[in-house]
């Protein structure tokens, strides 16, 4: 099994990747800075980018995981320094992490709304456990409707999808009440 497949199948494999590649990636990045805390922050974000990308079934890796991680870290250094990111491309694959960064920017922009949603979700978890599980499985664990239907006892994927819409509506009402 390749590292990418292991990342896809094992929810905690990223910690092994972290231990495996940490020393070499740090060594490579020390040409930019010697600040260990900064390097750790960069490397941790790179691992999160890799993990999220690995979850996408269409994502393929044409280089080694280590090269990919180094490329993301380098792009981050340029981006954080306020310079135009030097997109380090690897054999035709741009390791641009803009979509990851785009989401991060949006998360920071909507912080107050998300905090309110968190409060509503905590209440929702207590109020409607099954609905919460369905939403958690779909959004957090990224499971398909087919799998959700099987594991939660819905007759088919369409049924699970309809249930998700109903749960979402209920949660929205709760969220609006929180306002």
Partner 1 sequence: MSAEQEQMDQFERLLELGFLRERRKEMKRRLQFEEHYIERLTSPKIEYPKGIKFQKTTSADFDKIKFRGATRILEEKRQAKIKKIKNYMIFIALIVIALAAVLYYFSE
Give the footprint of partner 1 on this chain (CB under 8 A). 11-12, 14-15, 18-19, 22, 40, 44, 47-48, 51, 103-104, 106-107, 110, 113-114, 117-118, 121, 133, 135-137, 139-141, 143, 147-148, 150-151, 168-169, 171-172, 175
Integer Cα distance of 144 and 161 in angstroms: 10
* Coil/strand/helix, residue 137: helix
In the complex, the smallest distance separating the C-beta of residue 78 from partner 1, rounded to whole angstroms, is 21
Shortest Cβ 4–partner 1 spacing (Å)? 17
Q: Which two tokens stand for residue 106?
A: 């949006």
- Nearer to partner 1 by Cβ, of 14 and 78: the residue is 14
CA pseudo-torsion sign 77, 80, 83, 88: positive
* Both structure tokens of 159: 């049924």
Judged by CB, which is closer to partner 1: 49, or 61? 49
Distance CA 46, CA 42 (A): 6
Nearer to partner 1 (CB atom), residue 4 or residue 121:
121
Q: Which residue is listed with tokens 């803009």?
A: 98
Q: Enumerate residues 6+ apart whose C-beta is below 8 A from 159.
A: 149
Q: Based on CB atoms, which residue is closest to partner 1, 84 or 112?
A: 112
Smallest distance from partner 1 to CB 31, Å = 20
Nearer to partner 1, 90 or 114 (CB): 114
Helix (H) or strand (E) holding 179: none
CB of 9 to partner 1, least distance (A): 8
- Dist. CA 23–CA 154, nearest whole Å: 47
Shortest distance, position 109 Cβ to partner 1, whole Å? 10
């Amino acid at each position: 099994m390749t590292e990418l497949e292991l990342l896809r199948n094992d929810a905690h494999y990223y910690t092994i990747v972290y231990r495996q590649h940490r020393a070499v990636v740090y060594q490579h990045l020390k040409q930019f800075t010697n600040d260990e805390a900064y390097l750790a922050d960069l490397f941790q974000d790179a691992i999160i980018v890799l993990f999220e990308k690995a979850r996408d079934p269409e994502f393929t890796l044409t280089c080694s995981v280590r090269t990919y991680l180094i490329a993301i870290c380098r792009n981050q250094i340029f981006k954080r320094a306020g310079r135009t990111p030097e997109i380090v491309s690897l054999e035709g694959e741009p390791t641009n992490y803009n979509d990851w960064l785009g989401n991060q920017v949006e998360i920071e922009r909507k912080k107050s709304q998300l905090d309110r949603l968190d409060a509503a979700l905590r209440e929702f978890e207590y109020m409607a456990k099954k609905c919460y599980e369905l939403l958690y499985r779909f959004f957090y664990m990224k499971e398909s409707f087919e799998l959700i239907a099987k594991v939660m006892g819905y007759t088919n994927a369409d049924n699970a999808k309809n249930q998700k819409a109903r749960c979402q509506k209920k949660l929205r009402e709760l969220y609006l009440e929180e306002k």
